[in-house]
Structures are given as structure tokens and as C-alpha cells.
Structure 1
Amino acid sequence: MRQEHRRPGACRAVRRRVPDADRLVHALYAAGTPETRAIAERFGEDLLHADGTIDRRRLGDLVMSNDEALRELERILDPGVRRAIAERLAETTAAVVVLDAIRLIESGLAAQCDAVWVVVCDRSLQVDRLRSARNLSSEQAALRIAAQRPVEDKLRHATAVITNNTTLDDLKTQIAAAWQATASPFGRGRA
């Protein structure tokens, strides 16, 4: 599953454990990880907080306005994210698992998925939600969105498209319907 915007609890509509790649990335920013060391080496020690963790906001401001810097950051983080996801998947006995990954397609993880859901919304709503969730300016939010793969590109990989322009209940209804269609071949169609 690929999600443009998270709404707390939305994936719980299908009551499945959801490895969240964004949270896994945050763990890679912890003090002393190989990724944190590589980021500090490449982008500067001044991106480290006093406790040795990465200042994600400053790093984001740096890479979101520089395509090459963003690609370098992705090259540093992607192997660790793939490894962490593989570990979580190895721990589960579930027949169907939902993977929430902002870079599912770009990282190559989509090739390992039986289905790819793309969640889309109007651009202005996307900016507003990102501003609110991350306490960003409109310009910072727009830069982060512009750094993502174009929606049209993502839609070519989609087995389901969910439009997230209205209420949480509507989103949950769409997710439940997509879940039914996706999971029923595995005998797990009921949410």
C-alpha cells in the first residue's frame, strides 16, 4: 500500500499490522546508526542534535531543494529501510500484510508486492495536511511534495486508487473496499 497522506487509524480499518516505512526511517536517524554517521559525513556534523540524532527538519530543508542531495540521502537510507521491512515481514505469520511506504515504487519494494494502493488527494489539501502534520510553512510543504514522484507515475503502478479528499469515514470505506478486493484471493477478505 502506498499512502500520500496518513490519517491516524485509517489502515486500522482493515485491522492489519502495518509496517510503516516512515517510522522505520526515523529509527535510522537515531544516534550511532550507520545511516546517521553516513548522513553526518555527507551533509555535515551540524545536522546532528546534541544527543547524536539527526535534525530531520534541517536535513529535510537541505535535501528538498536539491535533487542530487535528496538522491544521495535516499541511497543512504534505502538499504536500511529495506532491511528493517524484511525483518518485520519475517516476524509475521499473516497471509496478507499492508506495507505503508512513501517510496514504495522508487525503492523497488513495489516489485515484492501483490498489490499497490495509491492514495491521492487535491494538491492544496496535500499541502495543508503536510503543513499541519509537520509544522511546515506552505513553501516547505510544497518543496517536499515536489520532490516526490509525480502522481501520474505512481498511478501506473496502482492496483487500487483511493481518493482522500473528504472524511476519515469515507477514507475507511474506500480502504475496506480495496482490502476486500485485494485480500479475498488469499482467503482474508473480511476486514
Structure 2
Amino acid sequence: MNIGLTGGIATGKSTVAEMLKLRGAIISDADVIAREVVAAGSPGLAQVVAHFGKLYLRPDGTLDRIRLGERIFQDKQARSELNHILHPLIMAKMQKEVRRIEKENPDTIIVWDIPLLYEEDLTEFVEKVIVVYVAEDQQIKRLMLRNNYTEEEATMRVQSQMSIERKKERADFVIDNQGTLSETERQVDQLWNYLILKNGSNRP
């Protein structure tokens, strides 16, 4: 079974992914793969540098992710161009990884952890979608606390993604992460038991 997991920046998606992993899911993480496809010397990095310039290449040959991040969060067109370069590489690698997992563990539950699942119209790869939700004002507050951003900086980053309310409306399952960790754990337990039942097994 292939399940999508998404949310918004600072909603706690990684926390929920870890909870699902502890219960037996295998996680295919787009953020991890995104780093791999722009590793030093990779074709992906070469494409990024060719498009955006050597300005975003660090002296050690790695991508200057902080500088590039500042650029794309301020420039919608640049963000779209970067996604156009990287997303095909990321999805090709994720699909290859998932095929390997399915071959080795045919009865497992695979979670495709993709921040831009809806923005990039990637729902075709999964059967159902989980959205990790907190209200936008909470996203902004958490991001300010976590990254030491100003309110303006945090708001800009939150609003660079699809509204969390729109994602919530489209979700098959919603994990409301606005309460305590224990409350989130209980929701994940309920969802996991449902997924196990739908997967036709007492274990993944």
C-alpha cells in the first residue's frame, strides 16, 4: 500500500512520519532524496548551477542551500524553475526506491513523504493522502520559534506553499497536530490500525 504524507512548513509532518515509521511503515522521504540529487558532482547540481549560476555553489563544490533558499522564497518564478529541474529527478529516484521496497517487502505500507504533493500534482503515485495540519497562524509562530525568523520572513515561507486549509480539504486523512504530542500519537494509532486493516494484514 502506497500512502502520501504531506502538510505545510512547520506543521509537524516529520514528527508524524517518524511515528508511522515506528509503527512499521517504510518512509520514502522526498526531502532526503532532494539532497541526494544535488550532491556534489551530481547531474542535478550541474543543472541547478547552469540555470542559476555559480553564485549558488560553495567553495567545497556543494550547493549553497541557504542562499538558494533565500532566492526562491522571494521569487515565485525562480521557485517554479528550480522545481522544474529537481522534481523529475526526485520522483524518478523515489519511484525506483519504492519499486525496490515493494519487491523486498510486498505487504508493507510505504509512505511517500512529499511536502509539495499537491502543489506538484503527484497524488497519482499514492492511494490515499494524509495531511498533517495546524492553522496558518500556528505555522508562522512555530517557524519563527524554530528558525528565528521575523514574522514577515515566516509568513512569506508559509504562503509560498499551497494553503494548509486547501490541503486539509483535499486530504483523505487529517492528523491535527495542534494539541499535545500524546493527542497526535492517538490519532496516528487510529490511522495506523485502519491502514493495517485496509492492507489486509495484522502487520505491515
> Under a length normalisation based on structure 2, what TM-score does the superposition of the two structures give?
0.83
Distance 1:34 1:137 in 2: 35
Distance 1:27 1:173 in 2: 33
Moved more, 6-15 or 105-114: 6-15
Give 1:98 deviation, angstroms: 1.1
Report what 2:179 is aligned to: 166
Does structure 2 conserve the Cα–Cα contact (< 8 Å) formed by 1:2 and 1:104? yes
Give 1:94 deviation, angstroms: 4.1
Report what 1:7 is aligned to: 15
Moved more, 57-66 or 127-136: 127-136
Distance 1:189 1:163, change over 3 A: farther
Distance 2:35 2:146 in 1: 15
**Match for 2:41: what amino acid?**
G
**Aligned to 2:123, what secondary structure does the other structure show?**
helix
Report what 2:113 is aligned to: 100
Question: Within the alignment, does 1:186 sit opposite 2:199 as a pair?
Answer: yes
Give 1:83 deviation, angstroms: 1.0
Tell me the matched-pair count: 191
| 1:24 corresponds to which of 17, 24, 33 | 33
Does structure 2 conserve the Cα–Cα contact (< 8 Å) formed by 1:11 and 1:172? no
Higher relative contact order (CA 8 A, sep 6+): 2
Question: Within the alignment, does 1:41 sit opposite 2:50 as a pair?
Answer: yes
Distance 2:134 2:83 in 1: 25
Distance 2:44 2:31 in 1: 15
Moved more, 8-17 or 158-167: 8-17
Does structure 1 conserve the Cα–Cα contact (< 8 Å) formed by 2:6 and 2:113? yes
Give 1:66 deviation, angstroms: 1.1
Report what 2:73 is aligned to: 64
> Under a length normalisation based on structure 1, what TM-score does the superposition of the two structures give?
0.88
- The percent identity for this pair of structures is 27
Question: Within the alignment, does 1:55 sit opposite 2:68 as a pair?
Answer: no
**Aligned to 1:116, what secondary structure does the other structure show?**
strand
Does structure 1 conserve the Cα–Cα contact (< 8 Å) formed by 2:135 and 2:164? no
Give 1:7 deviation, angstroms: 2.1
- For the aligned residues, what is the CA RMSD? 2.1
- Larger strand proportion of the pair: 2
Does structure 1 conserve the Cα–Cα contact (< 8 Å) formed by 2:7 and 2:167? no
Report what 1:119 is aligned to: 132
